[in-house]
Amino acid sequence: MDLWLTEFSSPDAKFSIRVEKQLYSHTSDFQQIDIFQTPEFGRVLVLDGIVMLTEKDEFIYHEMMVHVPMAVHPNVRTVLLIGAGDGGSLRELCRYPDIECIDMVEIDREVVNACRRFLPEVAASFNDPRLNLVIGDGISFVRTKQDEYDLIIVDSTDPFGPGEDLFTREFYANCYNALHSDGIMTNQHESPYYDSDAQIVRHIHARTTLYFPITKVYQAHIPTYPSGHWLFGFSSRKYDPVADLRAEEWLARGIETDYYNIDLHRGCFALPTYVQQLLSGGDV
């Protein structure tokens, strides 16, 4: 049997993963959820036909989402995680004992349930006592919050489907208001490579720049995402991600990572010229 999972990177380019078997398939109120066993990437979570994570490379995404801001902000106590139903970002956050409270708002309970069942290495921290899991709409939750968080992590799906709201101007505005004055927001920033994704990159950057005085973009290489070249946003009212890096403090924590390190932190904000050009002059 020759079974392949294919995702189109663009209408004219596609990426395929050989599938051993399908472990789970369910249509939730929000999306189609599938989990496959694959020989190359281990288990693969797919939402609405789009690869969300694989066991083999999820560490890259989740480490970059969490450790970059955690190595900058001196004193993260309260965190708001938006989306992130697979639990990967939560797992990384829970490695910081100083964090006192993590509000996590995921719209689709079924994603959490499926990941806890089939991806236990990723969904490893749902029993952490600091977690307050809210099943609901991120945009709705955040607009009621004022000056409550040190860190907001927007770990969303793509801007089509249930994650759409998490790329809007009103959402970023409300995140800004939900943060303390020295708070940081990191967000999934899509890929700069293929045209349709690149347009979204411009919008996200233009919209976050409207509210946050410091808005930087950093990158990582994630093999199973379209083009493999992925961006993250770092937005803050106070801290510059490189100038204000607290390298010694972070190293002293002794957190072991497989992708993130202090040298990479400094380097990942250095962007290719075409990405710099892409980010300048986007429309809101």
Select 58 or 155, whichever has its Cβ closest to another protein: 155
DSSP character string of 172-230 = HHHHHHHEEEEEEEEEE---SSSHHHHHHHHHHHHHHHHH-SEEEEEEEE-TTSTTSEE
Select 27 or 140, whichever has its Cβ closest to another protein: 140
d(Cα 4, Cα 20) in Å, to the nearest integer? 9
Give yes or no for residue 230 binding another protein (CB under 8 A). no
Give yes or no for residue 209 binding another protein (CB under 8 A). no
Q: Coil, helix or strand for 2?
A: coil
Shortest spacing between CB 116 and another protein, in angstroms: 24
Site string for another protein, 161-190 (x = CB under 8 A): -x-xx--xxxx-xx--x-------------
For the chain, give the longest Cα–Cα distance. Answer: 57
Select 25 or 140, whichever has its Cβ closest to another protein: 140
Q: 77, 109, 116, 143: which one contacts another protein (CB under 8 A)?
A: 143
Q: What share of the chain is helix, strand, coil (3-state, %, to 5)?
A: 30, 30, 40
Counting DSSP H helices and E strands in the chain, the numbers are 9, 13
**Is 258 known to be catalytic?**
no
Shortest spacing between CB 115 and another protein, in angstroms: 22
For helices 195-211 and 169-178, angle between their N-to-C axes, nearest 10 degrees: 40
Select 71 or 166, whichever has its Cβ closest to another protein: 166
149 phi and psi, to 5 degrees? Answer: -125, 150
d(Cα 114, Cα 111) in Å, to the nearest integer? 5
Give yes or no for residue 147 binding another protein (CB under 8 A). no
Of 31-39, 66-74, 138-146, 235-243, the window that binds another protein (rule: CB under 8 A) is 138-146
Shortest spacing between CB 21 and another protein, in angstroms: 33
Q: 5, 84, 139, 201: which one contacts another protein (CB under 8 A)?
A: 139
d(Cα 192, Cα 102) in Å, to the nearest integer? 30
> Footprint of another protein on residues 101-130 (CB under 8 A)?
none
Q: Coil, helix or strand for 148?
A: coil
**Catalytic position from the list 57, 86, 155, 158:** 155
Select 17 or 111, whichever has its Cβ closest to another protein: 111
Q: 10, 25, 140, 280: which one contacts another protein (CB under 8 A)?
A: 140
Looking up tokens 């472990």 gives 23
Q: Which residues are catalytic?
A: 155
Give the binding site for another protein (CB under 8 A). Answer: 137, 139-140, 142-143, 162, 164-165, 168-171, 173-174, 177, 284
